[in-house]
Structure 1
Amino acid sequence: MAHRDGAPTRSRGRLRYGVVLLVWLVAGANAAAPVGPSPLPQAHAHNDYEHERPLLDALAHGFCSVEADIWLVEGQLLVAHDRRDARPDRTLQRLYLDPLQERVRQNGGRVYPQGPVVTLMIDLKSEAEATYAVLRNLLAGYTNMLTHFTPTSTVPGAVTVILSGNRPTARVAAEPWRWVAIDGRLADLERNPSPHLMPLISDNWILHFRWRGTGDMPEEERQKLRELVQRTHQQGRRLRFWATPDNPPMWAALQAAGVDLLNTDDLGGLRAFLTKSK
């Protein structure tokens, strides 16, 4: 009979052990899960490389679009706004491509765990054709994370590369299979090129609008902005403006009109605005 009396005790012991083990496993899984800011699809880090930690500061704030200016210098693509500031240790791959690839590897194929596609806007400052030739070869080493384009299709990856600045538009358009798209201008809406070539329209705010983010936005400008957004979206593109005042009234007006990317140098300010307005 003794062995029968002990059986329930052993069963209860095994049950307690199983519960403890399950709690331990769940806690361990939660501890190992990536923790970070929620991604903000509208947030675009203008001149991102000027922050203390290029790319990393933007990602720490949840930004889903970052912009890097590049110069072709002795065969290397160096990140800088001006040629005189280009340094050999600040390469595109070191500051952007390698960290993005590592994030994608860690997060199961995305920059943010289960997050949206992240845009890497590359502004070509040096001569378009020569710079793109080097960039194209460089991107060939990162194709596992990049969006693929053809003249008639877009296959989203973790990172979409869009070329701005000195854009080799004709060369890119002629490629049957590529890893980049082109940043268009408002004038391109008249031509209506393929959205697989030009998925984004960007332009200088002060060339098209008088309002500078103080006081009430004039109704005629508000209506003009809404019409531009509508036209851009009807063509299957996103819209962004640069040279916009970096303040909440401007962000609110752009957001209300449906502008897709809000341009900023103030990472914390825009994050606070977007998370508060949710």
Structure 2
Amino acid sequence: MAYRDDSPLSDERSVAPFSPLEQTPLRQQNRTLHRFFPQWRNTTPSGPSFLSNKLTQRSKRLLWSALFILLITALTILTWLALILTVANRLRIPHLNNGLQKILETYHAPNTTHAAYPTWAEDFSGGVIPVQCHAHNDYWHRIPLYEGLAAGCVGTEADIWIGNLPDGTVDLFVGHNSKSLTQSRTLRSLYLDPLFDILSYQNAMSPNTPNTTTGTATGTQDILAIETSSPVGVFSTSPNTSLILALDFKTDGHKTWDTVVSQLDNLRSQNWLTYWTPSSGLVRRPVTVIGTGDTPFDLLTSNTTYRDIFYDAPLPSLSDADSPYNSNNSYYASSAIGKAVGAVRFGRLTDGQKDNVKEQVEKANDLGLVSRYWDTVSWPVGWRNRIWEQLVELGVGILNVDDLTAAARWDWEMCVVGGVNICNS
């Protein structure tokens, strides 16, 4: 028979101590594990030391993560810089040690007391490769004419205004608007006189230039040679390349025309101007003069036997049935690109615009004219370069440019690397 204890609990029994290690199953389990695996005895996390270790380990992980991110970032930046420097080095044009560079370094602009100097230096254009680019508003450059020649552009441009010098002499002034005109910046001082000096030296230094001594049999032969040989142009690497001098008439063309014709006499007398006659057709010479802007087409074509100033024909009008423009009276065929094919958005021609450009270029080629589009996008650089690429691919005769070096001397597809324009460095 079982014994039942109904006696009240004693005070000692009611306050019997509670042993967590004995009563908690987890603690019992740990003690059992430690009995069989003594090496675990000191690995059981407990107390503030465990928390401290935990925080230390987390800090170390964060530190290593930060160092890893910094390392990857540094490697990325170094790779990016190396790519830019490598491409820039491959595209860099060697510095040419020729006469043009010496002129650019020592040039003095014309003023009321002296002409521009120097205008020529030995090995004038050595190493310069001519490129089909037209220096738009060339007179805006620090050194008009010479910067375009140094870049290799075969076309240059001057805006001309007829006016009077203080002594009353009629002259042609160069500038973008009437407020920018000065008496020292004239067509002769910036372009015609320097070109006369350049061509004089170029032809004197050319091995093909004959000796004009008279009174001997040799002299007679040489005079005949002068009449049958062509003078050399401004580019030593391509002496038969003609420099295009575009004159943008800003004042009334009919009032300006005779002065322009007269001021070209020095170049004309040396047989240095490209000309046309009915019998010989177009004969290329070192300088080809084009009238644009308000050039009077009626006066230009009034001489039916000889012409040495040619018109800048409106490119979109070449397809008109009654179009009067051809290689007998014109040389360029130009238009603002927006007027010719519509607004160009985001630096890219649409397929329809490409078709229009191709059609206009082909028509100009059929007529023997050089096609040109102006007022193309100039910024961002990537958009500008893309338009240049598309126009060249479509066969445009010459690019109208402001950034001479970028246009003439760089590979446009490689100009922007990693978001950085390296073509102007």
Would you say same fold, with TM above 0.5? Answer: yes
Render the CA deviation track for 1:231-255: whole Å, top value 9, x for unaligned: 1101111100110113211110110
Alignment of 1:227-266 (within 5 A): 227-246=359-378, 247-266=384-403
1:138-157 superposed matches below 5 A: 138-143=263-268, 144=270, 145-150=272-277, 153-157=281-285
Measured in 2, the distance between the counterparts of 1:151 and 1:240 equals: 26
In structure 1, how many angstroms separate the alpha carbons of the residues matched to 2:138 and 2:345? 22
Q: Is the 8 A contact 1:201 1:239 kept in 2?
A: yes
The answer to which structure has the higher strand fraction is 1
Gaps of 5+ in 2: 1-121, 165-169, 204-231, 379-383, 415-425
How do 1:173-212 and structure 2 match up within 5 A?
Answer: 173-175=301-303, 176-186=305-315, 187-190=317-320, 191-210=323-342, 212=344
CA RMSD in angstroms comes to: 2.0
Correspondence for 2:187: 92
Q: Distance in 1 between matches of 2:125 and 2:298?
A: 42
Q: Match of 1:140, as an amino acid? A: D
216 and 164 in structure 1: CA distance in 2 versus 1, 3 angstrom threshold = closer
Work out the CA distance in 1 between the residues paired with 2:287 and 2:298: 23
Q: What stretches of structure 1 of length at least 5 have no aligned partner?
A: 1-31
Distance 1:70 1:203 in 2: 19
For 2:294, the equivalent position in structure 1 comes to: 166
Please say if 1:112 is aligned against 2:235. Answer: yes
Tell me if the contact between 1:36 and 1:60 (Cα under 8 Å) persists in the aligned partners.
no
Which of 233, 238, 253 matches 1:128? 253
**Match in the other structure for 2:178:** 83
Q: Which amino acid aligns with 2:397?
A: D
Contact 1:123/1:165 (8 A) holds in 2: yes
Matched to 2:351, the amino acid is: E
Query: How far, CA to CA, are the matches of 2:125 and 2:141 in structure 1?
Result: 22
2:394 maps to a residue whose letter is: A
Structure 1 residue aligned with 2:148: 58
1:65 counterpart SS class: strand
Larger RCO of the pair (alpha carbons < 8 Å, separation 6+): 1
> What is the identity percentage for the equivalent residue pairs of Structure 1 and Structure 2?
28
CA separation of 1:96/1:276 partners in 2, compared to 1, >3 Å: closer, same or farther? farther
Distance change (3 Å), C-alpha of 1:265 and 1:237? same
SS in 1 for 2:330: coil
Q: Structure 1 residues 270 and 131 mapped into 2: Cα distance closer, same or farther (>3 Å)?
A: same
Query: 2:30 aligns to what?
Result: none
Structure 1 counterpart SS, 2:341? coil
Task: Decide which moves more: 104-113 or 138-147.
Answer: 104-113
Q: Structure 1 pair 216/242, CA: closer, same or farther in 2 (3 Å)?
A: closer
Residues 163 and 182 in structure 1, CA contact (< 8 A), matched pair in contact too = yes
SS at match of 2:290: strand
Given that 1:147 and 1:160 are in contact with CA atoms closer than 8 Å, whether structure 2 keeps it comes out as: yes
Query: Computing the radius of gyration over CA atoms, which structure comes out larger, 1 or 2?
Result: 2
Contact 2:160/2:175, CA 8 A, preserved across alignment: yes
Aligned pairs, how many?
Answer: 246
Contact residue 45 and residue 65 of structure 1 kept, 8 A: yes
TM-score (norm 2): 0.55
Residues 139 and 179 in structure 1, CA contact (< 8 A), matched pair in contact too:
no
The C-alpha deviation readout for 1:202-238, integer Å capped at 9, x for no partner, is 1111112345363542111111111111111011111
